[in-house]
Structure 1
Amino acid sequence: MSDQDRYKGDNEITEPHVGHGGGFIVRNKNGFATLYRLIDVFIITVLYCMSGFYFEIAFTFAPMLLLFAYVMSFQITAEAIELYRSWRGHRTIEILRAVAIVWFFSGLITLTVGFFFGSKIALLPQFIFLWFCLTLLVLLVWRYVMRKVLFRVRKSGRNSREAIIIGATQVGLNVANQINENEQLGIRFKGLFDDRADTRLSHELQNQILGNIDDAIAMARRNEVDYIYIALPMSAESRIRHILEKCSDTTANVYLVPNFFIYNLLNARWQSIGSVQALSVYDTPFQGAATLLKRIEDVVLSVIILSFLMIPMALIALAVKLTSKGPVIFKQHRYGLDGRPITVYKFRSMTTQDNGEEVKQATKDDPRITRIGAFIRKTSLDELPQFFNVLQGRMSIVGPRPHAVAHNEQYRKIIKGYMLRHKVKPGITGWAQVNGLRGETEIIGKMVKRVEYDLDYIHRWSVWLDIKIIAMTVVNGFVNKNAY
């Protein structure tokens, strides 16, 4: 029997997928966040001083400015990728990778500062290299050791908590599985509780009930339980309120595990409106420091890439001009961040410049494509001028590919969630493109799949994912059989 049958008269709520994917709702910082920050700053500072003493560096104002720049960059970058959140339930490699990303971008920012103030700072490159390498090594080692110590303590039964789950639902089962599969959480699962008989439960939940809800409350009153997870459907509001009233007579920590995920939340987070808490359903991953980090990533990489590509771009421009009539740069209107119109640059690859209410997609052996146009489209070289769009702030290097306005208006009417891809800036390359979804979308299914990848990127965004996409683009993304 379904939860809808059990709680007759309530609205149906689909069960969420608990414990996988991460990032649906912004995580709370744990109590160790401040301690971790202080230890990181201490390590960075001590290693800076040790490296300086080794190379006999005089610690005047200028060298200390470089240290300050690195510490501030480290804290801002760490905040952007939530390095100091709780990592319970995550693999050790994930936190080590996060530390490495913070270290890399902090170093990049610091070297940029050193470049502009080079005449005043003038530090030995060997000193900077030694300091950076030691910092990465020690930051990784101390976190690895700390994780292992915490795991050992929790597995031994110390610093552990007893937990029960009220509600024999799929949500409750998922929570139980996550607790059992992650011993490092330091939580011991004691059982499921529900008022329904086994015959009224789904097959996988039968014979797993330890008692009814009154039994659960009684255990909590005897101080046998530390955590109570309520995993009933949100539609059972009166039932949940009644259970919460009973739980108020205990000292257990009580948590609601809601079914928000029916709404396919996109980077949802809690927001305070005065004293009222609201849950955003569709939101952007770029909030606060994350916005700054993404912008630094775009500007620094665009400047580096353009410095290497200026001569090839000049040659492409000359080839376009000499082989066909028309301008070198094709300007097309697209939707940018929040659906606002932007102008996107490309090397012209066709004899026509469709930019109106109806834009025909390029097809195989399209007669509109010029001789040089076929080559630069196949190799994605026609997209290179968009690095100037990135410097202007209209686009990002990585993000959902921008479509013509006419195509946007067409697909937003027939593809659910299509416009959510505009919660971030469009990109030169994207998660969909490196997974083979490029070129003509002659059937609606291809565009649906492309949108799914775009929304998955927005949901899972991280600096590491951007680096991965850029690397995949370099390795196999320039030449594509679907691009014509």
Structure 2
Amino acid sequence: MLRMEGLLARTLDVALVFAGAVVASQIRFDAVMKEDFYDLFIVLSAAFTLALFPAFGIYESWRGRSKPGLAGQVALAWLLVQLCGVMVMFSMHRLDIVSRLWFAYWTAVSGALLIVSRLFIHLVLGHVRSAGMNLHQVAIVGGGPHCNAVIRRVAASPASGFRVAAAFNVVPSTGSLSARVPTFADRAAFQRYIRTQQIHELWLALPLSQEPMILDFVNEFRDELINIRFMPDLHSVVLFDSGVIDLIGMHAINLAASPLPQHAVLQKDIFDRLFAAAALIGLAPVLLSVALAVKLSSPGPVLFRQKRKGADGRVFTIYKFRSMRVHAEEAGTLTQAKRHDPRITRVGAFLRRTSLDELPQFFNVLRGDMSVVGPRPHALEHDDQYSKLVSGYMQRYRIKPGITGWAQVNGYRGETDRLEKMEGRIACDLYYLGNWSFALDMRIIVATIFKGLIHRNAY
């Protein structure tokens, strides 16, 4: 059944790739197709779709997982497919005779069809599951507030298709579990219930200290067709990647490490490079105009260069358009820009207020030093100062710093003249690290465009 569903999903994707191309041709040429090499381009993209979509987990089960996350995965995979198609057509010396407008229409239409079709299918499945069909029965082992939180989350997500059928309270002293779920105190009776009531999932909502019980339940049901999932209570851990990684041939769980798994880092990096390249090409006239304005505004270089820390603390040189008059700072000190700072030129004030001074950082993104979205990098002097004052400060360097971030779209910009401002900024950065998704990145980019470019704290 799963193989048939996967085959149907792949067939639908190929059909939507072709359908988008036909719609684009009707819009651009008022014809089904213009030349034979357009057919070749479409076939190449269809083939790359079949090859690359599985690598992004698009054909895996998304039951209970984020649908915006699925949409983001499809969008990123489709952009990569089109990039691969463009590279092949370029190598065959056919790209220069392909209509760019047609290609843009095709990419947009097929991308929209691929995303909307999946969201529609999941919407239908959600209604079916909410009506009590296509359900996965879940048994939970746990106790205390964490176990109750898992039960409440399942109850609040009926469209996920999970239903809690029973629970085993391992620590009755912490209080009873949800009254809506049949609770067992006898372990043998609980295990017998799982085997006789067609339970599909066994969730172990236990703390790390319960290793013996975790192993007991895994050994008890490892030879049966029941999905066993560990949902640990890690309330005291700041960062946690719930995925299990392979490290020197052994399984490891990240407790304090990069919160993004390797495949997510790769996807984010691909998107960053594509976005940065497109931004630099599209904004080239703006970049040249700003560079000329900076050069004429005051003596000195066009670009401001400063050392900042990147992922894992690696130091790199950040680029900005110079907004201040050239001046010297004492060694080991750095004076933040203040409102009505006399060092800022008239052109520089406009650039800082509109965030145009940040545009050269797309070169940092293209070089791999930065990401489009991530924690903003601070000057090295500020890293030394605040790492001793703000808990979790250095955790923000687990991933690449960004041109924009969750802190910036939530108002934490400009001067940090009070410790509370920096603490608020770091709290936002840690939230981003713990809740990263491609959909969150898109949300931050859109928020930056509409409300984050100009801000009263940008001076």
Normalising to structure 2: TM-score of the pair? 0.81
The equivalent position to 2:184 in structure 1, one of 211, 215, 224, is 211
Select between 89-98 and 349-358 the one with higher mean Cα deviation.
89-98
Does the 8 Å contact 2:144/2:177 carry over to 1? Answer: no
Residue 108 to residue 156, structure 1, CA distance change in 2 (3 Å): same
**Matched residue, 2:32:** 55
Superposition pairs for residues 286-325 of structure 1, below 5 Å? 286-321=264-299
Does the 8 Å contact 1:412/1:419 carry over to 2? Answer: yes
Does the 8 Å contact 2:244/2:253 carry over to 1? Answer: yes
Instruction: Supply the distance in 1 between the matched residues of 2:273 and 2:289 (Cα, whole angstroms).
Output: 25
- The alpha carbon displacement at 1:352 in A equals 1.9
**Matched residue, 1:143:** 118
Superposition pairs for residues 400-415 of structure 1, below 5 Å? 400-415=375-390
- The alpha carbon displacement at 1:114 in A equals 6.5
Superposition pairs for residues 151-162 of structure 1, below 5 Å? 151=126, 153-155=128-130, 157-162=132-137
- The alpha carbon displacement at 1:268 in A equals 4.9
**Matched residue, 2:311:** 337
Residue 131 to residue 252, structure 1, CA distance change in 2 (3 Å): closer
**Matched residue, 2:455:** 480
Residue 272 to residue 204, structure 1, CA distance change in 2 (3 Å): closer
Unaligned runs of 5+ residues in structure 1 are 1-29
Q: Tell me the amino acid that sits aligned with residue 202 of structure 2.
A: I
Q: Tell me the amino acid that sits aligned with residue 421 of structure 2.
A: K
Check if 1:255 corresponds to 2:233: no
Instruction: Provide Cα deviations, 1:350-398, integer angstroms capped at 9, x if missing partner.
Output: 4424384221222334344445444433333333333333343333333
Check if 1:222 corresponds to 2:196: yes
Instruction: Provide Cα deviations, 1:94-136, integer angstroms capped at 9, x if missing partner.
Output: 6456545655675577668768977556245675466446524
**Aligned length in residues:** 447
Does the 8 Å contact 1:320/1:348 carry over to 2? Answer: no
Residue 136 to residue 160, structure 1, CA distance change in 2 (3 Å): same
- The alpha carbon displacement at 1:445 in A equals 1.7
Select between 367-376 and 394-403 the one with higher mean Cα deviation.
367-376
Normalising to structure 1: TM-score of the pair? 0.77
Check if 1:395 corresponds to 2:370: yes
Which of structures 1 and 2 has the larger relative contact order (alpha carbons within 8 angstroms, sep 6+)? 1
**Matched residue, 1:3:** none
Does the 8 Å contact 1:270/1:280 carry over to 2? Answer: yes
**Matched residue, 1:264:** 238
- 3-state SS, counterpart of residue 207 of structure 2: coil
The equivalent position to 1:453 in structure 2, one of 428, 439, 443, is 428
- 3-state SS, counterpart of residue 389 of structure 2: coil
Does the 8 Å contact 2:138/2:202 carry over to 1? Answer: yes
Check if 1:280 corresponds to 2:257: no
Does the 8 Å contact 2:143/2:177 carry over to 1? Answer: no
Q: Tell me the amino acid that sits aligned with residue 396 of structure 2.
A: R
Q: Tell me the amino acid that sits aligned with residue 337 of structure 2.
A: A
What percent identity do the matched residue pairs reach?
30
Unaligned runs of 5+ residues in structure 2 are none
Does the 8 Å contact 1:397/1:427 carry over to 2? Answer: yes
Superposition pairs for residues 183-222 of structure 1, below 5 Å? 183-194=158-169, 200-202=173-175, 205=178, 210-212=183-185, 213-222=187-196
Instruction: Supply the distance in 1 between the matched residues of 2:338 and 2:105 (Cα, whole angstroms).
Output: 54
Does the 8 Å contact 2:144/2:176 carry over to 1? Answer: no
Instruction: Supply the distance in 2 between the matched residues of 1:113 and 1:207 (Cα, whole angstroms).
Output: 58
Q: Tell me the amino acid that sits aligned with residue 282 of structure 2.
A: I
Instruction: Provide Cα deviations, 1:390-440, integer angstroms capped at 9, x if missing partner.
Output: 343333333322211111111122222222222333233322122211111
Does the 8 Å contact 1:221/1:251 carry over to 2? Answer: no
